[in-house]
Amino acid sequence: MSAYTNEIELLNAIKARHGESWAAIEPEYAARMRAQNKFKTGLDIAQYTAEIMRKDMGDYDRDSSQYTQSLGCWHGFIGQQKMISIKKHFQTTEKKYLYLSGWMVAALRSEFGPLPDQSMHEKTSVASLIAELYTFLRQADARELGGLFRQLDDAREAGDEVLAQKVQNEIDNHQTHVVPIIADIDAGFGNAEATYLMAKQMIEAGACAIQIENQVSDEKQCGHQDGKVTVPHEDFLAKIRAVRYAFLELGIDDGVIVARTDSLGAGLTKQIAVTREPGDLGDQYNSFLDCEEVAPQDLNNGDLVLNREGKLLRPKRLPSNLFQFRAGTGEDRCVLDCITSLQNGADLLWIETEKPHIGQIGAMVDRIREVVPNAKLVYNNSPSFNWTLNFRQQVFDAWLEEGKDVSAYVRDELMGEVYDSTELAQEADSRIRTFQADSAQQAGIFHHLITLPTYHTAALSTDNLAKEYFGDAGMLGYVEGVQRKEIRQGIACVKHQNMAGSDMGDDHKEYFAGEAALKAGGKDNTMNQFG
């Protein structure tokens, strides 16, 4: 007996216990509503998706071709349409996640209006977006199953038992649109207690994976901008522990923590780390500071000095009261950050780089894996990179090193359209196409994400429509550029009433009111024009 029919029988028994007062309740309708609502709470989602992520991490450890991917989504509808599209094109959501970008929350979801990525948006907006994304994904489940239930009814009415059984099997084996979300908690929005409270809200909303970075919370900057300030390791580890305690308190024992280091691009620190003995973690952090050796008589009023190996060292202090690291130490600091995070409770790493270069990333991962062999990265395939220029220059440099003739190319001008059809451009595009697979194999990248792609796609598609609709094309601009493509590409949203829940509403009206139900889906519904 199928899970669906088992549920109907269970509900029949429940109905029978309540006698005549429940006579109008149809157990099969209730079974359908239960099937359409697989997850009752955000914690149910967090537990389910955490198990998925842990399985996927194990798969990747055994086979680096089994990497995972996501796109950043700034609205529930965008996340929903992404997962509907993935199911349509690939028939599965396996190893496909969502990413919740703090950058896009700041830019698009703050009540203050658009903000830079500096943790100035409301703390609760992150958890609210997680809840919104999962509301839309659950609605995608309900919509898809609702369509199957209507197919089942049609098959029964037609007396087609074979088709009815086929549809029932699809119902029993329905794959949910609910997938893991890696959620950005920035630098924790305050101290460790604030981080814990924020993490709890995010987990309760459904997050199974929380990404946290080692910048100073009140000085936080976008990872691809200047002015980033890191914190000593002990400060960061306290926040990692705070997130772990939040997971454990809520019963999500498999919750995933992604520790991000911005040390590669961060040349500043706000604090001198506490150190108790030579070579300890605080001493290692301080060893990267840009210092000058001084004698006692050289000290000025208020100078701060370090004692290292019997020498007095004065760290370079800027007018901002920040301390500066030595130039060229970023990679070493990144490696130390990553090893330390993994040794103290983090599950995955995130290294924010200035360019998408597999060799650079892989060299750091190799050093990390000397200490932690199963170290894995989450990597930002960032729109902040000029991918075309970066990869064309990488090919140029490789060819130059190989002794290949590059006289036909000007390295600083390789973005130009004049190069689009050249052998160099084709090789660069080939490397971009295989970047995910290559870096998963060569640089330990378990999860590939793009932080803010849908920010750019929304702008691009709107620009295309505005140019045509308000120009000479007029209404044809919408018809040709949008609607005709929706119809021919099978975009479900062309039936926007259905996507918004009109058919589900009609189903419920029938459940609640029977023949008296006033439905929207009759012959005069213009949605019928789309088949």
What integer is the mean pLDDT of 508-518?
85
Residue 524 has pLDDT above 70, yes or no: no
Residue 223 has pLDDT above 60, yes or no: no
What pLDDT does 32 receive?
96
Pick out the residues of the known binding site.
184
Residue 525 has pLDDT above 80, yes or no: no
Pick out the residues of the known binding site for Mg(2+).
184
Closest of 176, 166, 174, 168 to residue 2, by C-alpha: 168
What pLDDT does 221 receive?
64
Closest of 323, 284, 325, 328 to residue 304, by C-alpha: 323
Closest of 370, 368, 337, 372 to residue 352, by C-alpha: 337
The 3 state secondary structure assigned to 317-349 is: ECCCCCEEECCCCHHHHHHHHHHHHHHCCCCEE
Residue 509 has pLDDT above 90, yes or no: no
- The percentage of the chain sitting over the pLDDT mark of 70, rounded to a whole number, equals 97
Q: How confident is the model at residue 170 (pLDDT cuts 50, 70, 90)?
A: very high
- The percentage of the chain sitting over the pLDDT mark of 90, rounded to a whole number, equals 80
Q: Which residues belong to the active site?
A: 222
What pLDDT does 121 receive?
82
What pLDDT does 226 receive?
61
How is the chain split into domains, by residue range? Answer: 42-274+327-385+435-459, 476-513
Cα(222)–Cα(230) distance, integer angstroms? 13
Q: State how beta strands 229-230 and 268-269 pair.
A: parallel
Could you tell me if 277 and 301 are in contact, meaning their C-beta atoms sit under 8 angstroms apart? no
Give me Rg for the CA atoms of the chain.
28
Fold of the 42-274+327-385+435-459 domain: TIM Barrel (3.20.20)
3-state SS assignment for residue 181: strand
What integer is the mean pLDDT of 274-288?
94
